[in-house]
Amino acid sequence: MSAWIVITESNLQQYVVDAQLQALITSALGSGQLEPLQATIRDRSNYVRTRISGRVLVSATPLAVPPELVTDAALIIVQSLVVRLSLGITLTDDQKDMIKLAYKDLDIAGTQELPIALPDDPVTPIVMQTGAGLTIVKKPHRVESRKDYSGI
């Protein structure tokens, strides 16, 4: 079992220089507009969790991602922050290549190619019972004719 990680600004600072990250967070904010970092972290972390949930048990801790995918989640978050600023700040070619690899990692996460550690607090899947006391009811086949409807 493993403790999954909730991505924070400090996680992002490991993958982009602080000046670039601060520019992504604070640039082009309108009057009264909130900084986009927390909402972007929430949305992209949930995206990662949803993307892998069919292959692995996810953590019950909201927004937590597996340690094996922290880099991938951080890069996807950075990409979303850049997309918000369609002009001005761009990613380097190396960053773009790493983001492409991040999406490929999500495709193979939970397989033999990229095993994912079971979280310390897995969400228990809902098990539905089937077959107990089940009765199949068939609708009788009815044959209708013009005569049946002639009095209508």
Closest C-alpha among 37, 48, 152 to residue 102: 48
Distance CA 150, CA 152 (A): 6
* pLDDT tens-digit map of 64-104: 999 999 999 999 999 998 887 665 677 889 989 999 999 99
Looking up tokens 């761009």 gives 90
For 124, the token pair is 């228990």
Distances (CA, A) of 117 to 5, 37, 64, 98, 121: 12, 27, 13, 22, 11
For 88, the token pair is 């001005």
Higher pLDDT, 44 or 32: 44
What's this model's pTM, rounded to 2 decimal places? 0.75
For 107, the token pair is 């495709």
Distances (CA, A) of 28 to 8, 31, 78, 106, 115: 21, 10, 16, 30, 39
| pLDDT of 149 above 80 | no
| pLDDT of 53 above 70 | yes
Distance CA 25, CA 32 (A): 14
Contact yes or no for 51/61 (Cβ under 8 A) = no
Domain edges within the chain? 1-152
Phi/psi at 109 (nearest 5 deg)? -60, 130
Q: Give the mean model confidence (pLDDT) for residues 44-54.
A: 95
pLDDT confidence of residue 68: 96
